[in-house]
């Protein structure tokens, strides 16, 4: 959006208007200033419940933007920890894996998906298993 560290912002090829940013799956802002910043910039969001059954709200938003290309930033904190704990956040009521896959695939069917980033993978289980195994005989 062109906001942030001046040196980093100056290296970016373009900026995205806040009206062209949609947050899907948001259910925890972590800190009040994050929620205030979202309001300040007018960034719209959809809750996990808004996309639980279908991606219609996302499709409508995409049409209203008039864009042809889309970048998706998939923060794994949107995932429901009752299904998988894949990130740092463990706030209940998140999106199911199948819902995230459906939404991203529906976006790609509507518009040209030119970028997909994945943030905050936290392999807690793998780390704990590795630690456990490293303390066993023959695996040290």
Please state, in angstroms and rounded to a whole number, the distance separating the CA atoms of residues 2 and 73. 17
Digit-coded pLDDT (tens) for 106-139 = 999 999 999 999 998 888 788 888 999 999 998 8
Instruction: Give the model's pLDDT for residue 30.
Output: 84
CA atoms within 13 A on the CB side of 62: 21
Please state, in angstroms and rounded to a whole number, the distance separating the CA atoms of residues 92 and 84. 11
> How many degrees, rounded to 5, is the angle at CA 107 between CA 112 and CA 30?
120
Digit-coded pLDDT (tens) for 44-74 = 999 999 999 999 999 999 999 989 999 999 9
Digit-coded pLDDT (tens) for 84-107 = 888 887 899 999 999 999 999 999
Please check whether the domain covering 6-134 is classified as CATH 3.10.450.50.
Answer: no
Candidates 21, 68, 61, 66; CA nearest to 40 is 21
């Amino acid at each position: 959006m062109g906001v942030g560290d001046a040196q980093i912002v100056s290296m970016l090829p373009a900026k995205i208007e806040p009206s062209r940013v949609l947050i899907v799956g948001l259910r925890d802002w972590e800190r009040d200033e994050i929620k205030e910043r979202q309001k300040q910039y007018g960034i719209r969001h959809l809750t996990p419940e808004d996309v639980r059954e279908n991606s219609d709200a996302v499709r409508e938003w995409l049409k209203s933007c008039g864009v042809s290309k889309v970048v998706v930033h998939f923060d794994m904190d949107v995932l429901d920890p009752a299904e998988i704990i894949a990130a740092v956040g463990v706030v209940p009521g998140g999106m199911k894996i199948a819902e995230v896959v459906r939404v991203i695939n529906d976006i790609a069917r509507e518009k040209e998906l030119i970028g997909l980033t994945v943030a905050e993978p936290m392999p807690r289980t793998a780390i704990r298993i590795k630690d456990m195994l490293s303390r066993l005989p023959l695996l040290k």
